[in-house]
Amino acid sequence: MEGWVDRYLPAAGMVSMQFVYATLALMNRAALLKGMSPWVFIFYRQTIATLVISPFAYFIRGALMWSKMGMKSFLLILVTAFIGVVLNQAAYFEGLYMASSSIASAASNLTPAVTFLIAAFMGLEQVNIKTMTSLAKIGGTAICVGGALSMALLRGPKLLNTQLQPLNSWLLQSLGLNDQTWLLGCLCLFAGSCCWSLWLILQVSVIAHYPDHLCLSAWMCFVSMLQAGLIAFFLEPDSRAWNLSSGLELSACMVSGILGSGIQFFVQSWCISRRGPFYSAMFTPLCTVITTVLACIFLHEEVYIGSLLGAVAVIIGLYVVLWGKSQEMKEKLEPVLVVSTDEITDEKMSSEVDLEQSLLMDHSNNEHLQFVADEDE
- Tens of pLDDT, residues 298-313: 777 777 777 788 888 8
pLDDT at 96 over 70: yes
Q: What pLDDT score was predicted for residue 229?
A: 94
Residue 370 lies in a domain: no
Q: Is 40 exposed, middle or buried (0-12, 13-18, 19+ CB in 10 A)?
A: buried
Between CA 306 and CA 74 the distance in angstroms is 45
Q: What is the distance in angstroms between the CA of the first residue and the CA of the last residue of the chain? A: 70
Instruction: Write down the pTM of the prediction.
Output: 0.73
Residue 39 lies in a domain: yes
Query: Phi and psi at residue 238, in whole multiples of 5°?
Result: -75, 125
Residue 365 lies in a domain: no
Name residue 303's beta-bridge partners.
160
Q: What pLDDT score was predicted for residue 165?
A: 46
The predicted model gives 286-307 an average pLDDT of 79
The predicted model gives 87-96 an average pLDDT of 91
Q: Which carries the bigger pLDDT value, residue 77 or residue 328?
A: 77
Q: What pLDDT score was predicted for residue 266?
A: 67
Residue 369 lies in a domain: no
The predicted model gives 260-274 an average pLDDT of 69
pLDDT in tens, 182-230: 788 888 998 998 898 888 888 878 878 887 777 888 888 899 999 999 9
The answer to whether 11 and 183 have CB atoms below 8 angstroms apart is no
The answer to whether 11 and 239 have CB atoms below 8 angstroms apart is no
Q: What pLDDT score was predicted for residue 6?
A: 65
The predicted model gives 140-145 an average pLDDT of 84
Residue 97's domain comprises 2-336
Q: Which carries the bigger pLDDT value, residue 341 or residue 104?
A: 104
Q: Give percent of the chain with pLDDT exceeding 70.
A: 73
Lowest mean pLDDT among 68-72, 137-141, 207-211, 259-263: 259-263
Between CA 97 and CA 78 the distance in angstroms is 27
Residue 348 lies in a domain: no
C-alpha closest to that of 39 among 216, 223, 171, 175: 171
Residue 360 lies in a domain: no
Residue 80 lies in a domain: yes
Number of domains in the chain: 1
Q: What pLDDT score was predicted for residue 273?
A: 66
The answer to whether 57 and 217 have CB atoms below 8 angstroms apart is yes
Q: What pLDDT score was predicted for residue 277?
A: 62
Residue 218 lies in a domain: yes
Between CA 320 and CA 281 the distance in angstroms is 12
Task: List Cα–Cα distances, 311 to 105, 106, 114, 314, in angstroms.
Answer: 9, 6, 16, 5
